[in-house]
């Protein structure tokens, strides 16, 4: 197993650790800083989320740079990302931090685009991530830690930067989803 695939497997292994930290009521206390009250367990879980998210960038970079792209990596890397982000979003809903309707919208887009990618692969095509999808990914990777950290370091301003990033993420999730389906609408011709 090459290094990028090991990083992907490590990211998958971090997901249950992240989930356990988020759902088990560990008595680690809280930290107050710059207007935010952050449970220590959320600090630890957020650090794990950030490390896992960084391994996504790092394993992709290594795989492309050193020509280490494998079928396992093509399957496991995007799956690991979706599992990590979906777990985080569901936990944020359970903790009453993120609105359920918005998370349903984002996750539904992920499932729909994944289904479209599968149809395209079956037809011998590959759908690369577009700029809109990359903006969606960037904004969700900012929103999730901010939401877990009670809008730190922006809480003292009174501006919900965490929710702004979440709503921007949802906007780009919908826009990029529509864009992907519109650009690949030919896959459905003659099948309805």
Q: Comparing C-alpha atoms, which of 173, 172, 164, 171 is closest to residue 143?
A: 164
- The packing angle between helices 71-94 and 131-148, to 10°, is 40
- Residue 59: what pLDDT? 87
Residue 150: strand, helix, or coil: coil
Query: What is the rounded CA–CA span in Å between residue 43 and residue 30?
Result: 9
Q: 0.85 exceeded by the pTM?
A: yes
- Residue 61: what pLDDT? 83
Residue 164, preceding peptide bond in cis (omega within 30° of 0): no
- Residue 179: what pLDDT? 96
DSSP classification of residue 24 = S
Q: What is the dihedral of CA 64, 68, 69, 71, to 10 degrees?
A: -170
- Residue 192: what pLDDT? 67
Write down how long the chain is.
192
Residue 153, preceding peptide bond in cis (omega within 30° of 0): yes
Task: Give a three-class secondary structure readout of 81-144.
Answer: HHHHHHHHHHHHHHCCCCCHHHHHHHHHHHHHHHHHHHHHHHCCCCCCCCHHHHHHHHHHHHHH
Q: Name the helix (H) or strand (E) containing 146.
A: helix 131-148
Query: What is the rounded CA–CA span in Å between residue 145 and residue 168?
Result: 15
Query: What is the rounded CA–CA span in Å between residue 50 and residue 175?
Result: 25
Task: Give, in order, the Cα–Cα distances in Å from 21 to each of 96, 110, 137, 166.
Answer: 16, 25, 23, 22
- Residue 88: what pLDDT? 97
Positions of the chain with pLDDT lower than 50, given as ranges? none
- Residue 168: what pLDDT? 98
Query: What is the rounded CA–CA span in Å between residue 12 and residue 111?
Result: 18
């Amino acid at each position: 197993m090459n290094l990028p695939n090991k990083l992907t497997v490590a990211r998958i292994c971090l997901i249950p650790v992240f989930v356990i930290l988020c759902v088990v009521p560990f008595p680690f206390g809280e930290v107050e800083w710059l207007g935010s009250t952050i449970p220590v367990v959320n600090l630890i879980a957020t650090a794990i989320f950030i490390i896992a998210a960084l391994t996504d960038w790092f394993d992709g970079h290594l795989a492309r740079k050193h020509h280490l792209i494998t079928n396992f990596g093509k399957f496991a890397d995007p799956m690991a990302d979706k599992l990590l982000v979906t777990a985080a979003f569901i936990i944020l809903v359970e903790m009453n931090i993120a609105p359920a309707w918005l998370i349903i919208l984002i996750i539904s887009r992920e499932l729909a685009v994944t289904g479209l990618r599968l149809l395209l692969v079956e037809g011998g095509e590959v759908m690369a991530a577009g700029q809109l999808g990359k903006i969606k990914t960037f904004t969700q990777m900012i929103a999730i830690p901010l939401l877990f950290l009670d809008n730190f370091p922006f809480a003292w301003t009174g501006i919900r930067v965490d929710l702004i990033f979440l709503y921007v993420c949802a906007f780009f999730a919908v826009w990029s989803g529509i864009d992907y389906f519109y650009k690949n609408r030919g896959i459905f011709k003659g099948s309805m």
